[in-house]
């Protein structure tokens, strides 16, 4: 833990083994104590970056007195002001294994679920005063320690100081996909720092906007997704890997006009069955019961602006609207009439070549 004096000089204090249990009910964050006869040694980098050239070890021989029990009486220290935090717009540039501190408002969150590796996760969306948003993921025990409490306080727009957290990456790549707790992470709710108090006060002034954002960033399944707090236009080259909804101004074009513009999906869970071409009753392993395969209009487009390009999938009602055909009509062209769908025959489809303002949702990796 970190101790700080009246001049805001800091020192790292360490406890070992049974001494941790001995003091666990005594130390409270941001409370003033009189600490005497701790062991003082030269700092070692074994426990991370050194705050001071000395490190304190607190054991049962150390005298720790809450300030209200000190004789003669002494005043508690004023709230701390020394705070080194990492800016939101630098998260993606942090080294993969680095740990840093973040001050933010929690503006949305979801129930705990299970990741693909079977571990429990819980996702929150946090925001800074510049209205930049990102996803913050809690894993396993941190859900019980912090996540459930934070979810109950969601409507209060709690300010958190998250210490020693790290960036998340997508799979084996180093592409930024949000923030995540580390083994040594600690999170303080509404800490007494002036910076946190100011952020909390500012959040109250934009509460209607926060309420609207909470609705906009909650999916139909109840999970959270990162969306721009305001309708900011994003360059395609700046699109991050974390699941999000964003706006781009771009030209849309077809990378392949010979693609099939229709796929079959489960009538209940909408799972894709891309190698099936016949509408029939199947046993869906996702639903775990017999369901029908139904057609869904879907096709790939290339989205391009001055900064770069990306591949996107347009499906369901937006795809039908662009083609002016229903999913069933497109399915019949391919699989009933055994014809080839031609975009040239549908002149309205040429509007794909226009520069459009498009909302894009990036997928879960």
Read off the pLDDT of residues 233-255 as tens digits, 9 standing for 90 and up: 778 887 765 556 677 778 888 88
pLDDT, residue 49, reads 53
- Three-class SS of residue 111? coil
Contact 253, 301 (CB under 8 A): yes
Domain for residue 85, yes or no?
no
On the question of pLDDT at 272 being above 60, the answer is yes
Q: Is the peptide bond before 42 cis (omega within 30 degrees of 0)?
A: no
pLDDT score at 365 = 45
Distance CA 32, CA 74 (A): 10
The total of structural domains in the chain comes to 3
Give the number of residues written for the chain.
365
The reply to whether 76 falls in a domain is no
280-331 per-position pLDDT tens digit: 999 988 888 899 999 999 988 888 888 888 888 888 888 888 888 899 988 8
Q: Are 67 and 33 in contact (CB under 8 A)?
A: yes
Phi first, then psi, for residue 124 (nearest 5°) are -125, 155
Averaged pLDDT score across all residues of the chain: 85
Instruction: Tell me: do 154 and 184 sit in the same domain.
Output: yes
**Residue range 177-231, pLDDT digits in tens:** 899 999 989 999 999 999 999 999 999 999 999 999 999 899 888 889 888 787 6
Is residue 146, in this structure, part of any structural domain at all?
yes
Domain assignment present for residue 84? The answer is: no
- Asked whether residue 223 is assigned to any structural domain, the reply reads no
Q: Is the pLDDT of residue 347 over 50?
A: no
Answer yes or no: is 134 within a domain: yes
CATH label of the domain that carries residue 176: 2.40.50.140
In contact, 291 and 281? CB cutoff 8 Å:
yes
Same domain, yes or no: 203 and 237: no
- Which residue segment(s) compose the domain that 268 sits in? 230-361
pLDDT at 357: 53
pLDDT of residue 348 exceeding 90: no
């Amino acid at each position: 833990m970190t101790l700080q004096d009246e001049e805001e000089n800091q020192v790292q204090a360490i406890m070992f083994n049974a001494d941790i249990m001995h003091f666990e009910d005594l130390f409270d964050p941001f409370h003033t104590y009189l600490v005497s006869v701790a062991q003082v040694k030269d700092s070692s980098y074994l426990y991370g970056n050194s705050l001071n050239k000395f490190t304190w070890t607190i054991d049962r021989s150390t005298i720790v007195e809450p300030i209200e029990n000190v004789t003669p009486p002494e005043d508690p220290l004023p709230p701390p002001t020394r705070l080194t935090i990492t800016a939101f717009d630098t998260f993606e540039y942090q080294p993969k294994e680095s740990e840093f501190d973040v001050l933010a408002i929690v503006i949305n969150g979801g129930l705990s679920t299970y990741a693909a590796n079977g571990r429990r996760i819980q996702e929150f969306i946090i925001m800074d005063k510049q209205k930049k948003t990102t996803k913050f993921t809690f894993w396993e025990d941190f859900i019980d320690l912090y996540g459930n409490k934070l979810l109950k306080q969601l409507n209060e727009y709690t300010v958190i100081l998250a210490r020693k957290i790290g960036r998340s990456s997508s799979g084996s790549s180093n592409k930024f996909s949000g923030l995540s707790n580390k083994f040594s992470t600690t999170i303080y709710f509404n800490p007494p720092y002036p910076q946190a108090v100011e952020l909390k006060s500012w959040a109250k002034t934009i509460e209607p906007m926060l309420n609207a954002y909470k609705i906009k960033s909650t999916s139909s399944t109840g999970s959270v997704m990162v969306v721009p707090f305001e309708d900011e236009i994003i360059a395609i080259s700046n699109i991050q890997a974390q699941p999000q909804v964003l706006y781009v101004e771009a030209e849309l074009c077809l990378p392949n006009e010979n693609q099939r513009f229709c796929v079959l999906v489960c009538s209940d869970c909408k799972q894709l069955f891309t190698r099936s071409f016949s509408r029939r009753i199947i046993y869906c392993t996702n639903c775990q019961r017999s369901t029908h395969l139904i057609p869904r209009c879907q096709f790939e487009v290339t989205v391009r602006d001055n900064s770069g390009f990306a591949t996107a999938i347009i499906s369901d009602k937006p795809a039908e609207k662009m083609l002016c055909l229903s999913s069933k009509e497109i399915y019949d062209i391919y699989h009933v009439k055994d014809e080839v769908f031609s975009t040239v025959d549908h002149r309205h489809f040429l509007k794909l070549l226009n520069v459009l303002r498009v909302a894009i949702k990036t997928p879960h990796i």
